[in-house]
Amino acid sequence: MKYARLTKEQLEELHPEFVNFLASQSIDKKEWDEIKVNRPQVAMQEVDVFSDLIWEKALTNVSFIDHFSSNYIFLFQCVDTMVYSLVLNTSDKTVDFLTKEGIEWLSLNLFTASVEIQKGKKDISQDRNLALFTIIKEGGIISKGELFAKLDHLINK
């Protein structure tokens, strides 16, 4: 398995797609029920293959990932074989970027000595989707990139 097995809830939400996947494997409902009961390891292998297909498709379409922690904000723009990053952090230990107050504090103090902004880029041409999956697995959230775009615009003004 390249990525991670989908949760039961995710599988339930993707039920029609999973049925089509099984049909493409020439597995009907009766056979699937038999596999689940008599060969659970084979059933899990089918779920794993399906999970990887879903992850692969989803990751191929990812353009932005945001990752927030109490003192850091990591913003990623994913373009072809490169990931561009904007990393914000504060030395003020009373600030928590996971709270509304922390984000309000950031908007008021963005260009002060209390906030450090770093730019970076990383080549992910070896395995783009696996690199993005690693960021997500570590707490990143797929986004539309509004925060990245606003911050990039402010920095490069």
With contact defined as beta carbons under 8 Å apart, do 65 and 135 qualify?
yes
The mean per-residue pLDDT over the stretch 3-21 comes to 94
- Beta carbons of 97 and 70 less than 8 angstroms apart: yes
Q: According to the 3-state scheme, what is the secondary structure of the chain?
A: CCCCCCCHHHHHHCHHHHHHHHHHCCCCHHHHHHHHHHCHHHHHHHHHHHHHHHHHHHHHCCCEEEEECCCEEEEEEEECCEEEEEEEEECCCCCCCCCHHHHHHHHHHCCCCCEEEEEEEEECCCCHHHHHHHHHHCCCEEECCHHHHHHHHHHCC
Structural domain count, the chain: 2
Does residue 32 sit within a domain? yes
Report the pLDDT averaged over residues 134-140.
94
One domain, residues 90 and 23: no
Q: What pLDDT is recorded for position 154?
A: 86
Can you give the residue range of the structural domain that contains 47? 8-60
Q: 145 with 69, same domain?
A: yes
110 and 139 share one domain: yes
pLDDT score of 122: 94
- pLDDT in the model for residue 91: 87
pLDDT tens figures, 56-112? 999 999 999 999 999 899 999 999 899 999 999 998 889 999 999 999 999 899 889
37 and 68 part of one domain: no
Confidence (pLDDT) at 23: 94
Position 98 scores a pLDDT of 94
**Cβ density class 42-77: b for 16+ within 10 Å, e for less:** ebeebbbebbbebbeeebeebebbbbbeebebbbbb
pLDDT band, very low/low/confident/very high, at 124 (cuts 50, 70, 90): very high
